[in-house]
Amino acid sequence: MDKFVVKGGVPLRGEIATGGAKNSALPALAATLLTDQPVNLQRIPRVRDVRTMQRLLVDIGASADVDGESVRIQVRVVRSPEAPYELVKTMRASSLVLGPLVARAGRARVSLPGGCAIGARPINLHLAGLEQLGAQIQQAHGYVEAVAPQGLRGATIRFERITVTGTEDLMMAAVLARGETVLQNAAREPEVTDLATLLGKMGAKIAGAGTSTIRIEGVEQLHGAEHSIIPDRIEAGTFLVAGAITAGDLTVTGCIPEHNAALINKLQAAGAEVTEVNTSTLRVRALTGLRSADVTTEEYPGFPTDLQAQYMALMTQAEGIAIINETIFENRFMHAQEMARMGANIRLEGHQAIVAGRKELTGAGVIASDLRASASLVLAALVARGETVIDRVYHIDRGYDKIEGKLAAVGAQIRRIE
């Protein structure tokens, strides 16, 4: 199991490039199931979850040609509309094939994702929406089976709570349904909008993506398309925090600044200087000491839950008390105990973490628990005195493409040991 060895204390300086968004690549890959024509996707990050999704599509019947960050997928025939447990247990986003498979093949058999480190993460809202579109759902032996022998028909679906992949799954199911579907209380994340852009290029009729109400007019069939995935706002945000926590001077390129507005506001409130160099470049500096600023995670355009752990690392270095409210997932503070081993002063009370700074961190042996928690431990290690060894970095490989290389190129003393 790979580890990272990090020696802290070096301010990061220079330019760091943002890759394509994992959470846009995954639904985009699932969308290729909706046509028998080839779909060419660019800026697909070379991360473990993407490789898992590609393998799942090939098992279903796709041909996949991968050339670096360009992927050409064609699903001429759906051979096996299934997502088996051994794949789904490693990546719960496999549930994104549910909607497209029912829409394309009239049936799907997908393993229930099971819990994960950060919470129960059920898919009940995905299933309720599919039923409203006319699918019959059965659950047995850890699998969910959805069938729609007469095809799907449009419906008005109101999500009882905002769900990102739920919105994406049902948007993909609705594009081939008969009639109009309205998704109410839909997720507004940029990745939802990016998926709608791809589906539109494939011939779907979608209006309102990026707002809480999305209207989809079903069509007979979709065709192939070419699409470049949006930049990964969570990777870009992770780098912005890295520049701030090390009191460096870091320029993050290839990003979309507005996608990080909530984080930028918080970094500025904490005393970091963040400037928009141009429409795809942000620069972060922390010339003076940082001060605490409270944060509550919310659905987009609020502060992203996927940056909460990274922000917690930053607040250990800020003067004062920061209250961090996690409202999206029920168990997303596991990084706190690991940071406490490095000397952080963090008290957990239910959905709240109270971070008392500024506390010097010292290098220690720590264990990554989930994708974003592992990124936050790297950030803490970058500012800790001495050496930190982070175990189970396979978590980080799920969502970051060679993060140690990118950070080392701007001065970080970080290396991977097999």
> Which residues are designated catalytic?
116
**What 3-state DSSP class applies to 17?**
strand
Selected from 80, 124, 136, 139, the binder of ligand EPZ by CB under 6 A is: 124
**149 CB neighbour count, 10 Å cutoff:** 9
Taking CB under 6 A as the binding criterion, the range among 121-129, 242-250, 309-317, 357-365 that sits at the site for ligand EPZ is 121-129
Candidate list 72, 89, 121, 153; residue touching ligand EPZ; CB under 6 A: 121
CB of 154 to ligand EPZ, least distance (A): 20
Binding residue (CB under 6 A) for ligand EPZ from 12, 33, 41, 164: 164
In DSSP notation, 52-96 reads: HHHHHHHHHT-EEEEETTEEEEE-SS-S--EE-HHHHTT-GGGGG
Q: What's the full length of the chain, in residues?
A: 418
Q: Which stretch binds ligand EPZ (CB under 6 A): 97-105, 163-171, 312-320, 403-411?
A: 163-171
Site string for ligand EPZ, 297-326 (x = CB under 6 A): --------xx--------------------
Q: In 3D, which of 21, 188, 1 has the Cα closest to residue 93? A: 21
Cβ partners under 8 Å of residue 137, min gap 6: 127, 130, 131, 144, 145, 146
- Which C-beta is closer to ligand EPZ: that of 301 or that of 343? 301
Annotate 103-137 with DSSP letters as a single string. Answer: HHHSEEEEE----BTTB----HHHHHHHHHTT-EE
Single out the residue of 4, 239, 303, 329 in contact with ligand EPZ (rule: CB under 6 A): 329
Question: 116 vs 247, which CB is nearer to ligand EPZ?
Answer: 116
Q: Of 125 and 236, which has the nearer Cβ to ligand EPZ? A: 125
Compose the 338-367 pattern: x for residues touching ligand EPZ by CB under 6 A, - for all others: ------------------------------
What pairs with residue 290 in β-bridges? 318
The residue (of 161 and 205) whose beta carbon lies closer to ligand EPZ is: 161
Between 259 and 372, CB nearer to ligand EPZ? 372
Who contacts 300 (Cβ-Cβ below 8 Å, separation ≥6)?
187, 188, 189, 190
CA distance 389 to 377: 10
Contact 29, 50 (CB under 8 A): yes
Hey, which residues between 4 and 23 contact ligand EPZ (CB under 6 A)?
A: 23
CB of 132 to ligand EPZ, least distance (A): 13
Nearer residue to ligand EPZ within complex by CB, 4 or 329: 329
How many Å apart are CA 358 and CA 49, to the nearest integer?
36
List the interface residues with ligand EPZ, window 78-117 (CB under 6 A). Answer: 93
Q: Based on the shown chain and the rule CB under 6 A, indicate whether residue 26 belongs to the binding site for ligand EPZ.
A: yes
Task: Give the whole-angstrom CA distance, residue 315 versus residue 346.
Answer: 10
Other CB atoms closer than 10 Å to residue 310's CB: what's the count? 28
C-alpha span between 10 and 414 (Å, rounded): 11
Quick one: which segment of 32-40, 67-75, 124-132, 134-142 binds ligand EPZ (CB under 6 A)? 124-132
Contacts of 51 (CB under 8 A, 6+ apart): none
Min dist. Cβ of residue 17 to ligand EPZ (A): 19
Tokens representing 364 are: 């220690």
* Two tokens, residue 57: 């599509």
Q: Which of 61, 84, 106, 119 is close enough to bind ligand EPZ by CB under 6 A?
A: 119
**CA 332 to mean position of chain CA atoms:** 14
For ligand EPZ, give the closer residue by CB, 87 or 290.
87
From the list 123-131, 207-215, 257-265, 287-295, the region that binds ligand EPZ by CB under 6 A is: 123-131
Instruction: Give yes or no for residue 399 binding ligand EPZ (CB under 6 A).
Output: yes
Q: With CB under 6 A as the contact rule, which of the stretches 81-89, 102-110, 122-130, 403-411 interacts with ligand EPZ?
A: 122-130
**Total residues at the site for ligand EPZ (CB under 6 A)?**
23
Choice between 129 and 134, CB closer to ligand EPZ: 129
Angle (nearest 5°) at CA 278 between 275 and 279: 110
Token pair listed for 17: 């490039």
Q: How far is the CB of 134 from ligand EPZ (least distance, A)?
A: 18
Residues that bind ligand EPZ in the complex, under the rule CB under 6 A: 23, 26, 93, 119-126, 161, 163-166, 305-306, 328-329, 371-372, 399
